[in-house]
Structures are given as C-alpha cells and as structure tokens.
Amino acid sequence: MNSTDLSRLRIDRTAPSAGPKKPRRRWLRLLVIAAIAIAAAAYAASRFAAPPVVETVMVVNVYPSLNFTLLNATGYVVPQRKAALSSKATGRLEWLGVLEGSRVKTNEVIARLESRDVRAALEQATAQVGVAQANLEQGMAELRDAEANARRSGELLARKFISAAQHDADLARLGKATASIAALKAAIAAAEANRRVAEVAVEQTLIRAPFDGIVLTKNANVGDNITPFSSAADSKGAVVTIADMETLEVEADVSESNIVRIKPGQPCEIQLDALPDRRLAGEVSRTVPTVDRSKATVLVKVRFVDRDPRVLPEMSAKVAFLSRAVAADETKP
C-alpha cells in the first residue's frame, strides 16, 4: 500500500464542530415539567372546587277550593253497612259459593254446612204430619158414621123399635168421635210445629246474604268446622265479610277545638291517596257525640256526593271542610 492510500485513513481534526447540544435538551425538559405541573394544578383545582349551586322548585296544583276551606282532616273510607256472616248452627263447611270481590244479593245462599242429620229430622217430621193428617181423616170418617148412626137411632127410638139404652150408646159414640177430632187436630198442629222446627234447623245450615253487597274477605274454606262463636279449637266463626259499597263514607278525626266549625250537611271535598288527581264532593253526614280522650278529637262522618267505583274500604282520605259548595267551574286546578 502506498503513502497516498494511508493518508486517506487519517482523521481530519481541522473540520468545523457541530456545537454543544446540551442547552437545547435542558429547555425541552423544562417545558415538559412545566406542562405536567400546569396539568396537575388544573386537575387539583377541578377536583377540590366547590360544586355548582342548583336551585330546585316544587310545582304543585292549586285548587280554587283552598280559598274557602275552613279546616282539613284525615281519615279512612269505611262502609256504613258491613257484616261478618256466620252460621247459627255448628258443623263442617260443605259448600262455599263466593270469593273475594263477589257480588251477592239479599237472601242469596253463599255457603252451606253439612245438613244430612237435620234434613233427615225434617223428613221424619214431615212424615209425622202426614200420619196425623191420615188419623184425622180416619177420625172424620168415624164421626160421620157416628152421626148417621145416632140419627137413625133417634128415628128408631121414636118408633119404639130400639130401647132407650141403645140410643144412649149411639149418642155416647157420637160424643167420643167428636172429641177425638179435636185431639187429632191438635196432633196435626204438634206435628206441623215439629216440622217447622226441623225446617229452621235446616235453614240454619245455610248462610245467606242479609243485603246486597260485595265480599271483602273470605275467612273459611270448605272442610273447616264452623261454630257460632268460634269457641272450639280449630274452628272458624265468620265465613265471609261483606259490605254494602253504596254506603261508603269517610270517618275523619277533627280536633275538639275545631268541632264548632262543623255542622251536618256542610259541603266537603274528599281527596283519596289512591286517586290523587281527583277530588270528590261530599258533605257532613253526622258527628259522633263523644270525644276521644286520648287524641282530643271528635269522629266526623262524611258521605260521598260524587261516587267512584274505584273507591274501596280502608282507603286513606283527606277531607277539606268548606264554607260553601264547589262550583262547576272550580273543580280544575
């Protein structure tokens, strides 16, 4: 290799330098650190800053009746006619023909107890009435025969064909037949009385509705033992409870200090919790003439003027006692 080739391998130290790069990198690091610090400060400020204040407003419906409302009270819907139906007899429930919500009519049979024993007694009493009537027919035939015999005997005695003793015997027979008729009629009356007793016993095994209404609760099932006062173990008293929905009214407790502002016939406005969008017209029916000492209130009963089929017993209600009735154009809020 010659000297020219070796000269190519030497480092030329006279070439210009690119200059130091450390100051530029330092500025870049400072900029990154500053950006991170600004972002952290903004996050902390957004996290610990006070939440914005939001104002809420409650919107309610205002009814014109508020302008002439004297006082308000709360109470519950109750039926004026309500009955727990049971049987006067004791026995096992054999048939039940209603459920909760069933409509019943007056004297409709809604349940029946086992009645084979009392029905057998009724058939026996009916047969005894038939026997007594047959005996009366026989006695009447005997009476007619005794009357005819006594009449013939009198004719024969007038002609001297028989003795007076024979005529007296015929008259005695007539008197006996007449007396037996009275006894036979009394026997018929006694037999018919026994039959009525048996009929009552059978009727007592039937449970009938005393008025038109709706079944509220069913307290017994087929197979349960029913007693009049539920005194025996594992027995039931009332079979069902019914109510007349046409007699629903509101019972409201009014403070005794405000009772002077209540009078019978006073117009009212009834609002039910179950029907918040409707207000029903009512009026004061009566005031119970006693004060609840524990609550210092008087029970006031308000009847419905406006009726709604959705109103049910035991619904909670609010009653506004008004100074005048609500006009037709004052029913909307």
Provide DSSP, 204-235.
TTEEE-SSSEEEEEE---TT-EE-SS--STTE
Per-residue pLDDT at 14 = 53
> Cβ contacts of residue 287 below 8 Å, gap of 6+?
259, 262, 264, 298, 299, 300, 301
| Whether the predicted pLDDT of 284 surpasses 80 | yes
Phi, psi of 278 (to 5 degrees): -135, 140
Closest CA to 132 of 68, 190, 212: 190
User: How many C-alpha atoms does 277 have within 13 Å on its Cβ side?
Assistant: 1
User: Which residue is listed with tokens 């207000």?
Assistant: 279
Q: Note the pTM of the prediction, 2 decimals.
A: 0.64
What pLDDT is recorded for position 109? 94
pLDDT at 46: 63
What does the chain come to in residues?
333
Q: What value does the mean pLDDT take over residues 72-78?
A: 94
| Helical ranges in the chain per DSSP H | 3-7, 22-48, 116-158, 164-203
- Burial of 276 per CB tally in 10 Å (0-12, 13-18, 19+): exposed
User: For 98, which DSSP code?
Assistant: -
- Cα atoms found within 13 Å of the Cα of residue 56, Cβ hemisphere only: 1
Q: Give the per-residue pLDDT at 143.
A: 83
The CA–CA distances, whole Å, from 203 to 28, 47, 229 equal: 109, 83, 18
Computed over its alpha carbons, how large is the radius of gyration of the chain? Answer: 51
pLDDT at 290 over 90: yes
